[in-house]
Structure 1
């Protein structure tokens, strides 16, 4: 029944119909008799409570057509276990996040948490940074754990990643440098999603107020932006702008990047794209609703309606809709400081 408890504890709703229960449990029971007996046991344990208004079946044993799931009862033993570990694990290991997660995640993480606990109780927190594979081997005896086996996510869950002085392993960030701006107190950086746009803008970098032109390489920038302070260790007030495709994926990249690095949309480029005819061909892309909503909020009401209509029709505006000369003119002539 342990698997059944786990299924019910993580079920997305607080109530469940009998047919939904059958669908959920069909891999564990081969006959109605086995299934119904399990439901009766869950009723007796008060894990499932009948919704009286929906009634019961006429079969034997009789089951309710609709149940409420007592999730607090299902989580009771799990929460007791968490409370016990809370008092024994090193105080720097924060396990509060597990209270709202599937217990299976806790069980999978626990062996590594115990290794982290041993490390923290025998060694001080590192004072110098180390590459992720080196620190990974030091912590759990597996150099691939942090980067390839979910270690980074676990360390973030328990509040340890920053404290362990880990140098992230990611591709170097690709950018061009404007040496005339390197001593400025306020420095501006333009991140572009695609290579064509990067190549189109590069010839006029020295004619702009920007210190760097950064090639995002699609989704790669979401990770590689972590390298920028190391690759460009200049003390200044840094201001970042982003320009990508106006489609679901381009919007999602911007949104993910904006959650890691404070930046603004390079609106003049986007506004110029919106004067062109959209292109067909992005019907297959999945939409992140929160990303689209955040993106649209930056635009005027008229442009919001235009972008929403284009996306809903499976169309998009690629960066390449703007030719190199137009890109260069916009970059040179816009007042990016206001």
Structure 2
């Protein structure tokens, strides 16, 4: 429908008309066999097509135009961008013959001046798409080769050119299309010999705070926590940004990933964001450690939060779903009463007992 409407507008423009009424477009569509009068279901695609033409710069609503509810909210009158139809701003089909099929040139066909500005870049992308033997580079390395700016793809807000927007306009090209991969900031970790040698599921413990991490490192290295094969320093919110680094140390999605942080709104939110960001990985709360905390310290003695934290109901419900009903209710009460239990409740004196309980 969009192409039909575009042709109607162009023919109207050729009659030296600078504005066009929606009812005229509807009438012309009817003569072409698309009858909005008798088929109300066409109202939505009609409005979508009109909006796309507005987005493409073909039409612009007049200042005194009105919405037409029966046509999905289209305006009743538009001005025509005459320059859009000028031949020097339309790419000829012959210029596109040698381009890779993955390059969607529909945007640049309509914005030839932008194409000419980016022609070298587009052809560099085209060469990469055709090169089946190209090495896989990091996103920043590939970005520099294409755009002359290493931040253009992943961090366009800090770059001299918005490479991300250009890739979007070319049909939403991905890093994989460009023979590139995203890299992740490394996290601090401790891997045991079991982590490297076991073929079955391994136990990975993600610890939010540094002091608790050091306590667990000592216990693992001293053989007190034999069922932990990999320790990861979560570093609070940073874990969501860094967790993808697990691929670099051969972590498997089917391994057991236990998250252990503070019992407070932020701790539960970090867990939920991590699990949501990496849904392919088997990430669950370290139930045995949280339960041990609650049994060691009377939850009634949980301290008031030092400063308010926003409670996310979804994060809470997703977190406590891993626990038995009674323990889940205790955690929920701590959160909603604006109190907290830090993971530092567990210290060096608890390690031997935790070895007997295990991480699960």
The TM-score normalised by the length of structure 2 is 0.58
> Which residues of 2 match residues 260-279 of structure 1 at below 5 A?
260=278, 261-275=281-295, 276=297, 277-279=301-303
Larger Cα-atom Rg? 2
- When residues 251 and 71 of structure 1 are mapped into structure 2, their CA distance, relative to the original with a 3 A threshold, is farther
Query: Could you tell which deviates more after superposition, 219-228 or 193-202?
Result: 219-228
Cα deviation, 1:19-63, whole Å, max 9, x if unaligned, reads: xxxxxxxxxxxxxxxxxx97xx45x3326x9xxxxxxxxxxxxxx
Native 8 Å contact 2:219 2:351 kept in 1: no
Tell me by how many angstroms 1:122 deviates. Answer: 3.1
SS in 1 for 2:146: helix
Tell me by how many angstroms 1:173 deviates. Answer: 1.6
RMSD: 4.1
- Aligned partners of 1:153 and 1:272: how far apart in 2? 47
Tell me by how many angstroms 1:184 deviates. Answer: 1.0
- Aligned partners of 2:118 and 2:294: how far apart in 1? 51
Native 8 Å contact 1:152 1:161 kept in 2: no
Q: Which residue in 2 is equivalent to 1:53?
A: none
Q: Which residue in 1 is equivalent to 2:335?
A: 311
Query: Could you tell which deviates more after superposition, 162-171 or 262-271?
Result: 162-171
SS in 1 for 2:262: coil
> Is the counterpart of residue 240 in structure 1 residue 257 in structure 2?
yes
- Aligned partners of 1:152 and 1:280: how far apart in 2? 47
Q: Which residue in 2 is equivalent to 1:160?
A: 174
- Aligned partners of 2:305 and 2:240: how far apart in 1? 24
Question: What is the aligned counterpart of 2:68 among 36, 46, 57?
Answer: 46
> Is the counterpart of residue 222 in structure 1 residue 245 in structure 2?
no
Question: What is the aligned counterpart of 1:209 among 220, 227, 237?
Answer: 227
- Aligned partners of 2:228 and 2:283: how far apart in 1? 14
Cα deviation, 1:257-315, whole Å, max 9, x if unaligned, reads: 11313312110111122232322125522233322221122222223332222222221
Q: Which residue in 2 is equivalent to 1:177?
A: 191
- When residues 120 and 318 of structure 1 are mapped into structure 2, their CA distance, relative to the original with a 3 A threshold, is same
> Which residues of 2 match residues 90-239 of structure 1 at below 5 A?
92=102, 118-124=123-129, 127-149=134-156, 158=172, 160-186=174-200, 187-206=202-221, 207=223, 208-230=226-248, 232-233=249-250, 238-239=255-256
Native 8 Å contact 1:190 1:241 kept in 2: yes
- Aligned partners of 2:180 and 2:156: how far apart in 1? 16
Q: Which residue in 1 is equivalent to 2:272?
A: 255
- Aligned partners of 1:216 and 1:171: how far apart in 2? 12
Q: Which residue in 2 is equivalent to 1:60?
A: none
Q: Which residue in 2 is equivalent to 1:333?
A: 356
Cα deviation, 1:188-216, whole Å, max 9, x if unaligned, reads: 21111111111111122142122211111
- When residues 193 and 123 of structure 1 are mapped into structure 2, their CA distance, relative to the original with a 3 A threshold, is same
The TM-score normalised by the length of structure 1 is 0.61
Task: Structure 2: state its 5+ residue gaps.
Answer: 1-61, 79-95, 106-110
- Aligned partners of 2:149 and 2:245: how far apart in 1? 24
Q: Which residue in 1 is equivalent to 2:53?
A: none
Q: How many residues align?
A: 254
